[in-house]
Amino acid sequence: MLKALLGLGLFGLLTSSVFTGLVIAGAIRFIRRKRHRAESQTFQQPVSLLKPLHGAEPNLDIHLESFFLQDYPSYEILFCARSATDTGLAIARQVASRYPQIPVQFLIAEEPVYINAKVSSLERMAAAARHDLFIISDSDVRVTPDYIRSVVAPFADANVGAVTCLYRGVADKGTIWSKLEAAGMSIEMTSGVLVADMMEGMQFTLGPTMAVRRPCVDEIGGFRILGPYCADDFVLGNQIAAHGHTVVLSTHVIDHVILNLSFTASQKHQIRWMKSTRFSRPKGHFGTALTFSVPFGLLSFVAALALHHPFLASALLLYSLVIRMLLAAIVGASVVEERHLLRTILLYPLRDFLGFCYWMASYGSNKILWRGEVYRLMPGGLMHAIAEERRGGSAVSAI
């Protein structure tokens, strides 16, 4: 039995090492694209920025203001909330008042038509947008003045239907839990995307930035097709790719600010994301278990120690830690340009272990708690509301 456990641990260390090699290859490819990109920087088609809002968030005004400071000749910003009294919409109006030269629209989606309420806002904004190139971004992201110019550059190729961006997790003044979540965003998420892009090309988009052509959205049936899904970003890019259009991973990287500061909020958010991935990409999610290193290092350590091989046990555990730190160093420094690189390198082995725990937890149930309501995830990532379950004990235990 102990030898079998040691064998499993060694197998996991092997597969995670292979994955690390693929990530390094993907990072080198990304760096080369960034240095020698052939994308036309003169492409300047007018852009409509679509910003769904839902309440106030910490530093929302700072995040929104970064979109008013774009070095781009022609763009508008559309904000949409579910209520005219939404506090996030009030903050957006305050920020917009400081930049009267930027065309802005403030819209109300009113009662959501879809389970994914964000989709109602997207439909409302798309109908009001003056331009045919959309950039959809979340409210918890922060961008630099070259954001629009960099994101739309690939659209110079008429075959490109969508563009998306990598992002670094930002938890400058957060707790240890928010910093661990940030490390997962910067390293774990980026690693998976780099490998996916290298192996099969982009077949999805990432929620913090989804740039799409209006005709492509119309071709897939409009934003309404995203209504019953939790992972609307995955579905949008996947459908555009399925219709024969190219989805491009931009070499531009943005800030994704971590809002979950407490232990409970952070764990629920990450497990919910893992569950969403499990139902959107079941085969790929199942194989994700073999990309983690530290859990297999711990398993190898315990098994080898029980077999009276203390040197081997220590060496295997140390290897699992070092290879994760190496991965964090390469991805953090060369791809996402992590601002707190040393912190991320030191935290990432722990985040790797927690990531495996989140992966296991994703198989615990098919229920998620999202914006105060409980939903059941179905094959393909569809969501069904569970009206009889509210915010009580059953809803919490489902997470």
How do residues 135-174 score in pLDDT, each as one tens digit? 999 999 999 999 999 999 999 999 999 999 999 999 977 7
* CA-wise closest residue to 277 among 395, 184, 213: 184
User: Does one domain contain both 221 and 318?
Assistant: no
pLDDT surpasses 70 at 177: yes
Residues 45 and 88 occupy one common structural domain: yes
At CA 124, angle to CA 240 and CA 162, rounded to 5?
Answer: 20
As for how many domains the chain has, the answer is 3
Asked whether residue 274 is domain-assigned, the answer is no
Return the minimum-mean-pLDDT range out of 3-17, 42-56, 365-379.
365-379
Tell me, yes or no, whether 88 and 163 share the same domain. Answer: yes
CA 259 to chain centre: 14
| Same domain, residue pair 134 and 244 | yes
Please indicate, yes or no, whether residues 128 and 217 belong to a single structural domain of this protein.
yes
Tell me: do 231 and 375 sit in the same domain: no
User: 14 and 40, same structural domain?
Assistant: no
| Alpha carbons 312 and 326: distance in angstroms, whole number | 21
Q: What is the mean pLDDT of residues 221-243?
A: 93
pLDDT > 70 fraction of the chain, expressed in percent and rounded: 94
pLDDT of residue 306: 93
Q: Are residues 196 and 340 in the same domain?
A: no
Residues 383, 353 within the same domain:
no
Q: State which residues form the domain around 302.
A: 2-27+282-361
User: Does 122 share its domain with 149?
Assistant: yes
Residue 268 placed within a domain = no
**What pLDDT is stored for residue 372 in this prediction?**
65
Does the residue 273 lie in any domain?
no
For residue 267, is it within any domain? no
φ and ψ at 169, to 5 degrees? -75, 135
Whether residue 204 has pLDDT greater than 80: yes
Q: At which of 232, 261, 290 does a domain end? A: 261
Confidence of residue 309 (pLDDT cuts 50, 70, 90): very high
Same domain, 254 and 303: no
pLDDT average, residue stretch 325-339: 96
The enclosing domain of 148 has a CATH number of: 3.90.550.10
Whether 270 maps to a domain, the answer reads: no
Is 275 within the bounds of a domain?
no
- For the beta carbon of residue 91, count every other beta carbon within 10 angstroms: 21
Domain contains 271: no
Sign of the CA dihedral with 31 first, then 35, 37, and 42 last: positive
Residue 277 in any domain: the answer is: no
pLDDT of residue 387: 57
| Pair (208, 340) in one structural domain | no
Residue 399 in this model has a pLDDT that exceeds 50: no
Is the model more confident about 40 or about 319? Answer: 319
Give the pLDDT of residue 94: 96
pTM of the complete model: 0.91
- Asked if residue 392 has pLDDT above 70, the reply is no
How much is the average pLDDT of 74-102? 95
Confidence grade of residue 273 (pLDDT, cut at 50, 70, 90): confident
- Report the pLDDT averaged over residues 377-385: 83
Among 213, 230, 261, where does a domain finish? 261
